[in-house]
Amino acid sequence: MSQRESWATRTGFIFAAVGSAVGLGNIWRFPFQVGQEGGAGFVLIYLLFIASIGFPVMLAEFVIGRRTDRNPVGALKQLGSGKLRYAGWLFFTTGFLILSYYSVVAGWTVRYVLLGLQNEYVGDVAGAEGQFLSVASGLDAVFFHALFMLAIIAIVGLGIQRGIELAVKVMVPAIIVIMVGMAVYVFTLEGAGEAYAYYLSPDFGYIASEWQSILPAAAGQAFFTLSLGMGVMITYASYLGEDRNLAEDGLIIIGFDTAIALLAGLVVFPIFFSAGVSPGAPGAGAVFVTLAAAFGKLSLGGILGAVFFFTVAIAALSSAISILEVVVSYLIDEHGMNRLSATAIISAIIFVVGLPTTYDIQVLNLYDLLVNNILLVFGGFILAVFVGWVIYDFALDELSKGIGDLGPWGTTWLWLLRVPAVIGLAVVVLLGIIEYYDFLVGDFATWFGDNF
Q: What residues make contact with ligand TRP under the rule CB under 6 A? A: 20-21, 23-26, 98, 224-225, 227, 229-230, 232, 319, 322-323, 376
Please give the Cα distance from 377 to 383 (Å, whole number). 10
Of the two residues 229 and 270, which places its CB atom closer to ligand TRP in the complex?
229
**Which positions ≥6 away from 336 have C-beta within 8 Å?**
1
Min dist. Cβ of residue 26 to ligand TRP (A): 5
Alpha-carbon distance 403 to 244, whole Å? 8
Supply the minimum distance, in Å, between the C-beta of residue 250 and ligand TRP: 14
Instruction: Please identify, using beta-carbon distances, which residue of 27 and 122 lies nearer to ligand TRP.
Output: 27
CA gap 11, 337 in Å, rounded:
28
The neighbour count for residue 168, using CB atoms within 10 Å, is 28
Contacts of 389-398 spanning 24+ positions with Cβ under 8 A:
389/418, 389/422, 390/80, 390/81, 390/84, 391/64, 391/79, 391/80, 394/63, 394/67, 394/79, 395/60, 395/63, 395/64, 395/67, 398/63, 398/66, 398/67
Residue whose CB is less far from ligand TRP, 122 or 384: 384
Cβ atoms of 161 and 8 closer than 8 Å? yes
CA 377/CA 225 separation, integer angstroms: 12
Q: Which residues of 110-125 are buried (b: 16+ CB within 10 A; e: fewer)?
A: bbbbebbeeeebbbeb
Q: Which residue is nearest to ligand TRP (CB)?
A: 25
Beta carbon nearer to ligand TRP, 75 or 122: 75
d(CA 211, CA 205): 10
Q: What count of other Cβ atoms lies within 10 Å of the Cβ of residue 451?
A: 10
From the CB of 276, what's the least distance to ligand TRP, in Å? 29
CB of 20 to ligand TRP, least distance (A): 5
Q: Please identify, using beta-carbon distances, which residue of 7 and 121 lies nearer to ligand TRP.
A: 7
Q: How far apart are CA 281 and CA 258, in angstroms?
A: 23
Integer angstrom CA distances of residue 331 from 233, 322, 408: 17, 15, 39
Task: Give the nearest distance from C-beta 199 to ligand TRP in angstroms.
Answer: 19
Residue closer to ligand TRP by CB (options 186, 383) is 383
Please, which residue, 129 or 368, has the CB nearer to ligand TRP? 368
- Dihedral angle of Cα 34, 40, 45, 51, to the nearest 10 degrees: 100
Residue (122 or 371) nearer to ligand TRP, CB? 371
Could you tell me the sign of the dihedral formed by the alpha carbons of 293, 223, 250, 339, in that order?
A: negative
Q: How far is the CB of 240 from ligand TRP (least distance, A)?
A: 17
Kindly state the smallest distance separating residue 225's Cβ from ligand TRP, in Å. Answer: 4
In the complex, least distance from residue 280 CB atom to ligand TRP, rounded to whole angstroms: 22
Please, which residue, 227 or 290, has the CB nearer to ligand TRP?
227
- In whole angstroms, the minimum distance from the beta carbon of 323 to ligand TRP comes to 5
Residues near 412 by beta carbon (within 8 Å), at least 6 away in sequence? none
Chain centroid offset of residue 120 CA: 29
Which residue number, 216 or 301, has a Cβ lying nearer to ligand TRP?
A: 216
Least gap, CB of 28 to ligand TRP (angstroms): 8
